[in-house]
Amino acid sequence: MNAPTSGPKTLYDKIFDDHVVSRQEDGTCLLYIDRHLVHEVTSPQAFEGLRMAGRKVRAPSKTLAVVDHNVPTTDRSHGIDDPESATQVETLAENTREFGIEYYNERDIRQGIVHVIGPEQGFTLPGTTIVCGDSHTSTHGAFGALAHGIGTSEVEHVLATQTLIQKKSKNMRVTVDGTLPEGVGAKDVTLAIIGSIGTAGGTGYVIEYAGDVMRQLSMEGRMTVCNMSIEGGARAGMVAPDEKAFAYLKDRPRAPKGADWDKAVAYWETLRSDEGAYFDAEVRLDGANLPPIVSWGTSPEDVVSVEGLVPDPEAIEDAVRRDAKKRALAYMGLTAGTKISDIAIDRVFIGSCTNGRIEDMRQAAQIVAGHTVNANVKAMVVPGSGLVKAQAEAEGLDKIFLAAGFEWREPGCSMCLAMNADRLSPEERCASTSNRNFEGRQGFKGRTHLVSPAMAAAAAIAGRFVDVRTWPRG
Ligand SMILES: CC(C)[C@H](C(=O)O)[C@@H](O)C(=O)O
Ligand code: SF4
């Protein structure tokens, strides 16, 4: 299974095999890493390790650092008030200075969530291996890169050697056929996939997303889908790069230029699964019949149509599973049989590396325009990067949000996880465009419902979940 593949190859086989430096009998490989993204949470011990061993960073130009998890999303032009955040941020600043790595600090317009800035800068390229000490590194697979999260000791290994020890995963293809209905988007696709395969469904696999829907999706949409591959248990997710990927990357600061660009595109065009390539597992989904999706529980697989009801755990045969889902309902403060559209919400969060890009801002603004945030709801929009923020402001989207009563914040991970000042209070219920709804994820005892940007925007106005396919009628 781990020998270099002969005969037709999948996209994953091609990129993996192209990066093998050495291979052992048992299939363990040393993989060359083309791109390493670094943030403040998983890097301090790695840099400390290098320092203790007296080692340098092997390829500083292939490493890019940014601060995102801890930064406050309120004005920080005069520094960071919270001492803990300030220390985290200062540590990354010092480490990158000492080791000669490019770093986007909290005052840099290029700063943002690590998975938003990589593609934005053209640091993320097709056919590359990309790692980061962060599980949602799978996002970059939207460009036909082999991208996945690594642990802190691996961060140190990559910093020191630009290689990673890896065994090959199996190949899974998820094909999404048809054309999505108006109002249904990439977030609904990914939630539906996880709902169908389960959070362990992708364990041991790298997923290639294919089919008409994936072709039709914008790069932002493909990133949303690849981002959540990890929530389906997969090692990585990827989409074969096409004209859309090339157009997105052209003229980005770190993308190849001139003759190098032409050479790169010629190579990138070969990055697709060969006819007859073998997939260990195949999943198909009909995009044409997909409704807007809302999560009801504490796992991203706990999903249902906006037209549906909170499910009844008593109907589950397996006792362990039944108990887990009962606990989820209790945590969420929900009763089986409640209509999803009858669930009232307190907070709305539009942002994160899943849905903090310009297209997400546009989709939300389109719903919000001319409406007012419900009196019972506190809503915020947090652009995924300084450049997304600037673009949105150039288009007047900030004005739409502010006029409706949304807060318009500085870029960062924000309320996606409770590592900064943005968090839910106990029992507050949030419609969130992020990717995880685990217990306490957005704050102690906070209740998260995962939805698309359009659904989150509509929920902010209505104060409950509404079907965006019929908006503003709901
Ligand atoms: C803090 C970081 C290690 C973590 C991750 O790896 O995903 C975070 O980004 C998350 O989304 O939970
Ligand atoms: S936005 Fe959320 S999921 Fe993405 S990197 Fe930040 S904390 Fe992790």
362 alpha carbon to ligand 2 midpoint, in Å? 20
> Does the Cβ of 41 fall within 6 Å of ligand 1?
yes
CB 392 within 8 A of CB 383: yes
User: What is the rounded distance in angstroms from the CA atom of residue 164 to the CA atom of residue 131?
Assistant: 9
The model carries a pTM of: 0.98
Report yes or no on 183 lying in a domain: yes
> Does the Cβ of 149 fall within 6 Å of ligand 1?
yes
Q: Are residues 51 and 112 in the same domain?
A: yes
Give, for ligand 2, the residue of 39, 43, 68, 430 to mutate: max count of ligand atoms closer than 8 Å to Cβ.
Answer: 68
Residue 136: the pLDDT is 98
Q: Are residues 407 and 391 in the same domain?
A: yes
136 alpha carbon to ligand 2 midpoint, in Å? 7
Give, for ligand 1, the residue of 40, 68, 136 to mutate: max count of ligand atoms closer than 8 Å to Cβ.
Answer: 136
- CA of 416, closest atom in ligand 1: 11
- CATH number for the domain spanning 223: value is 3.40.1060.10
CB 336 within 8 A of CB 308: no
Q: Are residues 136 and 249 in the same domain?
A: yes
DSSP 464: B
161 alpha carbon to ligand 2 midpoint, in Å? 26
Q: Which ligand is nearest to the CA of 448?
A: 2
Q: Are residues 92 and 217 in the same domain?
A: no
What is the residue range of 437's domain?
A: 293-470
Q: Whose CA is nearest to atom 2 of ligand 1?
A: 134
DSSP 177: E
Q: Are residues 300 and 364 in the same domain?
A: yes
Report yes or no on 181 lying in a domain: yes
Helix-then-strand count for the chain, H and E: 16, 19
Q: Are residues 343 and 426 in the same domain?
A: yes
138 alpha carbon to ligand 1 midpoint, in Å? 12
Q: Whose CA is nearest to atom 6 of ligand 2?
A: 413
> Within 13 Å of residue 135, how many CA atoms lie on the same side as its CB?
10
Residues of the chain scoring pLDDT < 70: 1-5, 474
H or E element at residue 457: helix 453-462
Q: Are residues 147 and 217 in the same domain?
A: no
List Cβ neighbours of 144 (8 Å cut-off, separation of 6 or more).
11, 15, 126, 127, 238, 239, 240, 241, 245, 268, 271
Report yes or no on 6 lying in a domain: no
Q: Are residues 392 and 308 in the same domain?
A: yes
298 alpha carbon to ligand 2 midpoint, in Å? 17
Buried b (16+ CB within 10 A) or exposed e, 304-341: bbbeebbbebeeeeeeeeeebbeebbebbebeeeeebb
Report yes or no on 389 lying in a domain: yes
DSSP 363-380: HHHHHHTT----TT-EEE
Q: Are residues 315 and 382 in the same domain?
A: yes
CB 345 within 8 A of CB 428: no
Q: Are residues 145 and 178 in the same domain?
A: no
- CA of 230, closest atom in ligand 1: 7
Residue 1: the pLDDT is 46
- CA of 114, closest atom in ligand 2: 5
158 alpha carbon to ligand 1 midpoint, in Å? 18
- Which token pair is 294? 């809302």
Q: How many domains does the chain have?
A: 3
Give, for ligand 1, the residue of 417, 420, 436 to mutate: max count of ligand atoms closer than 8 Å to Cβ.
Answer: 417
Instruction: Match 């037709």 to its residue by tokens.
Output: 8
Residue 2: the pLDDT is 52
User: What is the rounded distance in angstroms from the CA atom of residue 148 to the CA atom of residue 59?
Assistant: 19
> Does the Cβ of 136 fall within 6 Å of ligand 1?
yes
- Which token pair is 63? 């490493």
Residue 5: the pLDDT is 63
Residues with CB under 6 A from ligand 2: 68-69, 113, 134, 136, 352-353, 413, 416-417, 434-435
Q: Are residues 384 and 258 in the same domain?
A: no
- Could you tell me where the DSSP H helices lie in 183-257? 186-197, 212-216, 219-227, 243-249
275 alpha carbon to ligand 1 midpoint, in Å? 36
Report yes or no on 2 lying in a domain: no
Q: Are residues 342 and 448 in the same domain?
A: yes
Annotated binding site: 353, 413, 416
Annotated binding site for [4Fe-4S] cluster: 353, 413, 416
Report yes or no on 194 lying in a domain: yes
Helical axes 152-161 vs 44-53, angle rounded to 10°: 50
CB 187 within 8 A of CB 50: no
Q: Is 348 helix (H, G, I), strand (E, B) or coil?
A: strand
Report yes or no on 5 lying in a domain: no
- CATH number for the domain spanning 389: value is 3.30.499.10
List Cβ neighbours of 55 (8 Å cut-off, separation of 6 or more).
160
Report yes or no on 3 lying in a domain: no
